[in-house]
Amino acid sequence: MPIDYEALLATAVTDEPFQYTEKDSILYALGVGFGSDPLDRNELLFVYEQPGLHTVPTMASMLLSNSFFDASGWDYSRVLHGGQHLELYRPLPAAAELLANRRVASIIDRGARKGARIELEAEVRLARDDTVIFTLNSILLARGDGGIGGPSGPIPLPHKLPKREPDLSCDLPTRPDQALLFRLSGDTNPLHADPDSARAAGFDGPIMHGRCTSGIACHAILKTICAYDFTLITGFDVRYSAPVYPGDIITTEMWQDRNVISFRCSVKKRDVIVINNGKCTLAS
């Protein structure tokens, strides 16, 4: 069943309940590489359930269920994340009950061969007191669902990286099984686990989740610039530009201008940029 443009654009939910536990926070942190050295006390704070358990800010992108689109008619096996814009109004608790208002903000029809660009907007609040904790705009690329009759643009311009050489750089390895671990945080698309599904979608094998790659970029910034103070990050925007394969080494290059960190991620061995035009905002 093809996407119904008008029906999908009208899709919205109010006060949708979610919850996550300390175990979920730890699992996400492990999925983006924290704890690879179990003797590193800075990283242990994210993966060991003691009072004051730290949370990785980009976990916010994984807290909302994909069931929002269950009736959309899209070909889920060909859906990729194209990017996201995250604003955090307070640090994520180690565990919480949440309420979310979500809607489809826009649909761009890129044509039958290129698919559809779907922007989903979410406002998420703490259930206990209705305090807004974060907002998230997610860009989804439904590669098998173009030609549905929607507008072909405009598409917002991405954040511009500085023209000077990067101020800082951080290399973080990924494990061959990392996509299998990360999918336990909520994204079970077969592209990330099943070799046949991945090859049918045009990849050499299972690929890493884009949201895992952005979590690794956040890991690099926390490690290199923030001294692991997760409360400093108040915004995190990315544009995914190429897939990462489990086992790749991800290099995050960073430019710091006051409280704005511009960044991009690459896999040098394959000479490919995997996240471009990244922007991380720190508390003033």
pLDDT digits (tens, 9 = 90+) for 55-84: 999 999 999 876 666 656 666 667 777 899
Q: Is the pLDDT of residue 129 over 70?
A: yes
pLDDT tens-digit series, residues 220-268: 999 999 999 999 999 999 999 999 999 999 999 999 999 999 999 999 9
pLDDT(1) > 60: no
Domain ranges for the chain, please list them: 5-282
Angle at 29 between CA 117 and CA 188, to 5 degrees: 45
- Beta-carbon contacts of 196 under 8 Å, excluding residues fewer than 6 positions away, are none
- Residue 145 appears among annotated catalytic residues: no
Identify the active-site residue in 207, 216, 233, 275.
207
Asked if the model's pLDDT at residue 6 lies above 90, the reply is no
Which one of the listed residues 31, 210, 215, 278 is annotated catalytic?
A: 210
Confidence of residue 114 (pLDDT cuts 50, 70, 90): confident
Which fold, 5-282? Thiol Ester Dehydrase; Chain A (3.10.129)
CB 276 within 8 A of CB 264: yes
Q: Please confirm, yes or no, whether 108 is among the known catalytic residues.
A: no
Q: Active-site residue 109, yes or no?
A: no
Nearest by Cα to 57 from 99, 83, 15, 25 = 25
User: What is the structure's pLDDT at 144?
Assistant: 63
The reported pLDDT for the residue numbered 4 is 72
Residues 27-49, mean pLDDT to the nearest whole number: 96
Residue 250: the pLDDT is 98
Q: What is residue 252's predicted lDDT score, i.e. its pLDDT?
A: 98
Q: Is 187 a catalytic residue?
A: yes
CA distance 122 to 103: 7
From the candidates 54, 85, 192, 219, give the one annotated as an active-site residue: 192
pTM (predicted TM-score): 0.92
